Amino acid sequence: MTTLITKTAGDSIPGPAPLLGRLPLLLRFAFHPLETLEDLRRRYGSMVRLGFGKYPAVVVFDPEYNRQVLRDPDSFYAYEIDLVPLKFPENSSVRAVTTGMPLMNGPRHDDHRSALLPYFHRKFVTRYHDACVEVTLRRTAAWKMDAVLDMRAEMERLAMWLGTVPVLGLDPEKEGEAIGRQLERTMKTLFNPFALLFPYDIPGLPFHALMKHAAEMERVVREVIARKKAEGLNDSDILSVLIQMHEEDPARMSEEELIGHTTTMFRGGYNPNGMALYWTIFLLSQHPAALQKVLDELDQAMGGKDPTPEAVEKLPWLEGAIRETMRLFPAGTWTGRLAMRDFELGGHPLPKGTWIVMSPYVVHRTAEIFPEPYRFKPERWLTEYHSAYEFMPFSAGPRYCIGTSLGMMQLKIALAILLQRFSFMLQPGARVDCTGLNSIRPKNGLPMLVRERDGVPAPVPFKGNIHKMVQFD
C-alpha cells in the first residue's frame, strides 16, 4: 500500500521542535518517563507531535483517541519484532522467546487469540481457585511474624507461584521459580538499552548476555515441553493446550511460537500481578479508613476462613482497592501502536508508519474523568462508571488482556487471604522511590513490618518520589 499523505502531514499538531526540542525530551523520557509524559500533556494538550525523520510519532492523552486506535487492531499494530528498527537474528533464541501473543499482529494473532480465549473465560478459570488459595498459604507459611519483609520481592515471588499452575501446570516451588528466574534474567538483558544499541554478539557486551540468557531460556522451555508431553497432555493448563495446538497443526502454530507463547504468557501474567499485589498492600497500609472497609467486608464474607469462589465474586471494597491501585499504578504506564495505513486522528491526517503512544498513567490522572485523580479512593469504584478507554489497566478493544479474569481472580484470592491474616506497616524511615521505563516499581524494594493481623495500623510517614504520583495527606 502506498502512503498518500505527505511528510509534512501532522504539522498542525503541537509539539516540541524537531531536533532541539525532541532529542533532549527523548533523553529526559529515558530517565523520567512519567514526569515527561505529564509535562507533555500540560504543555501541549491531548495530542503531541513527536518522532524523528522516517519514524513519525504522536502521543495522545484522550480516551476518544485511545478508542479510535485500540478498537482497530487491523489498522494499528502492536509492537512486533519485525516492525522495530532492531532485528534479532533469524532462528535465534531471543526471537523464539519473544514471539508471544502481545507481539503478534494480523490474522495469525487473531487465530491464536480466539483459540485460547475459552481457556481464559471467567467460568473456566475458577478451576484454578483452590490452587491459588493453596499457593498463597504455602508461600506465606514460612513468614516470620514481627519481622520486616521486602514486600516487592515477596509479592513478585507469590505472583510467580500463582501463575505457574494455570500457565505451566507445574509445581511453583520446584519448577515455576526456576523458569521465572531465568525469564527475569533474560528480560533484564532484553530491556538493557545498551544491548539494543550495540547488537553485537561479542563476549563482554550486553547483547552477548542477552543471547546467552535467551538460549538458556529456550532450553529450559523445551525441556518442560518435552516432559509435559511424556507425562501426557490434558486441558488443565495453558501450556498443555498450546502444545496440543502445535502438534495438531504445526503450520498453524510453529515451534517458535509455542516457545514464545509459553514465556510471554507466563511473564505477562505474573509480572503485572506482582505489582498489583504489593502496591495494593502498600496503599491500603497508608489509608486506614479504606483498609477498615476492606477488612469489614472480608470478615463479613469469610469470617477468617479461606475465600470460596462465590465469596470472591462479591467483594466491592477489595475490588475497588485493586482497581484504584491499578488506576494509580497501571502495569503498563504507556503503550504504542503502529499505523499500518494513512489515517486521521483529531482532524489531523497522519501517514502510515506513524507510532501512536497512549498513556494509561496520564489518562488515569485526568481530573475531568477521575475527580481528585492523585488520591487513592477505592470508594470511587462503588459509584463511578468509567469506560474501557478511560480506565485501561488491561488495555482495551479487541486486544485487551486475555488474562483479565484470571488476573483479577488471583489478586482477589491472594489479597483476601493476606489481609485477613496479616497486618502490614511500612518500615519507619523507609523511602519509597519509584523507577521503571514502562511500569512503576519501588527502586529499593518495599520494606514492611508484617504481623499477625492486629487491627488497622496507623499510616507511617515516609519520603520518596512516590509523593509525585500519589497524594497521601
Q: Summarize as ranges the residues that interact with ligand HEM (CB under 6 A).
A: 78, 101-102, 113, 167, 265, 268-269, 272-273, 276, 331-332, 335, 393-395, 399, 401-403, 406-407
Spatial separation of the C-alpha atoms in residues 81 and 66, rounded to whole Å: 22
Closer to ligand HEM at the Cβ: 167 or 466? 167
Nearest distance in Å: CB 119, ligand HEM: 10
For ligand HEM, the closer of residues 5 and 256 by Cβ is 256
The DSSP call for residue 463 is B
Min CB(287)–ligand HEM separation in Å: 20
Locus of grid cell 479487541:
398
Closest CB to ligand HEM among residues 207, 370: 370
Residue 23 beta carbon to ligand HEM: minimum distance, rounded to whole angstroms: 26
In this structure, are residues 33 and 438 in contact, taking their beta carbons and an 8 Å threshold? yes
Position of minimal CB gap to ligand HEM: 403
CB of 66 to ligand HEM, least distance (A): 11
| d(C-alpha 34, C-alpha 438), whole Å | 9
Min dist. Cβ of residue 41 to ligand HEM (A): 19
What is the residue-wise DSSP string for 42-104? Answer: HHH-SEEEEEETTEEEEEE--HHHHHHHHT-TTTEEPP-GGGSS--PPTT-HHHHHT-SGGG-
Classify each residue of 181-198 as buried b or exposed e, where b means 16 or more C-beta atoms within 10 Å of its C-beta: ebbbbbbebbeeeebbee
Nearer to ligand HEM, 361 or 394 (CB): 394
- Distance, in Å, from the CA atom of 472 to the CA atom of 364, rounded to the nearest integer, reads 17
DSSP structure class, residue 173: I
Residue appearing with cell numbers 520494606: 447
> Roughly how many angstroms between the first and final C-alpha of the chain, as a whole number?
55
Rounded least distance, CB 187 to ligand HEM, Å: 15
Smaller CB separation from ligand HEM, 193 or 398: 398
Q: For residues 354 and 423, which CB has a smaller minimum distance to ligand HEM in the complex? A: 354
Residue with smaller CB distance to ligand HEM, 402 or 418: 402
Contact 167, 239 (CB under 8 A): yes
Report, in Å, the least distance between residue 458 CB and ligand HEM: 29
Report which DSSP code applies to 473.
-
